Amino acid sequence: MAKIAMPLDSDFEDSEFRKPYDALLRAGHHVVVVGKEKGKKLTGKRGEEATTVDRTAEELSAADFDAVVIPGGYSPDHLRTSSALVAFLREFDALGRPIAAVCHGPQLLIEAGLVGGRTLTSWPSVKTDLENAGAQWVDQAVCVDGTLITSRQPDDLDAFSNAILNSLAA
């Protein structure tokens, strides 16, 4: 089965971590939580979910992964300052494998320079950031543009998770 990197930091949106994470595990995939500090305990912004960082971006090779899934909340904003994680995303994108981001997750895609000329969706407050970075923003539950899979909010997580699983099955 596939190996998925899930970049995460504190104050992630609880359900945007848990639902895709559980869907991937149920499908038999292996998920690696990637953060700034290996072993660091992370808590969701609602305090409903907690997890631990498995690896740092410095320890990873993009070629070892089949997909990246970026939960939203405040986590992407914290992670966009990690030059190692941004470099990992650029390296991963160059491989042509799926990158999925929900809600505020596309902030990391902007930082990595991956959105220009692409069509994406996000939480509405990220719309202008995406457009300023050269993306076309659409208001729909899930948007698939090549290898980029984006989604707006927790209400869209079933469709988002299904789109990720479909991309892995293709």
Helix (H) or strand (E) holding 145: strand 142-145
pLDDT for the residue numbered 115: 98
pLDDT at 19: 98
Q: Tell me, what's the pLDDT at 5?
A: 98
pLDDT of residue 164: 98
Query: Distance between CA 16 and CA 34 in Å, rounded?
Result: 15
Helix locations, 95-156, DSSP H:
106-111, 127-132
Decide if 143 is catalytic. no
> Looking at the predicted structure, is the pLDDT value of residue 170 above 90?
no
- The helix or strand, by DSSP H or E, that contains position 79, with its residue range, turns out to be helix 75-79
- Based on the number of CB atoms within 10 Å of its own CB, is 28 exposed (0-12), middle (13-18) or buried (19 or more)? exposed
CATH superfamily of the domain spanning 3-169 = Class I glutamine amidotransferase (GATase) domain (3.40.50.880)
**Residue 10: DSSP 8-state:** T
CB 135 within 8 A of CB 128: no
The active-site residue, picked from 103, 110, 115, 148, is 103
- For the segment 142-151, what is each residue's pLDDT rounded down to a tens digit? 999 999 999 9
Mean pLDDT (the chain) is 97
Query: What pLDDT score was predicted for residue 150?
Result: 98
Q: Each residue of 18-47: pLDDT tens digit? A: 999 999 999 999 999 999 999 999 999 999
Which among 133, 137, 25, 124 has a CA at the least distance from the CA of 80? 133
Percent share of the chain, pLDDT over 90 = 99
Is residue 70 within 8 Å of 110, Cβ to Cβ?
Answer: no
Strands across the sheet containing 99-102: 55-56, 30-35, 3-7, 67-70, 99-102, 148-151, 142-145
E strands, 15-66, in order: 30-35, 41-43, 50-52, 55-56
Is the C-alpha dihedral spanning 69, 84, 53, 30 positive or negative? positive
Model confidence pLDDT, tens digit, residues 116-141: 999 999 999 999 999 999 999 999 99
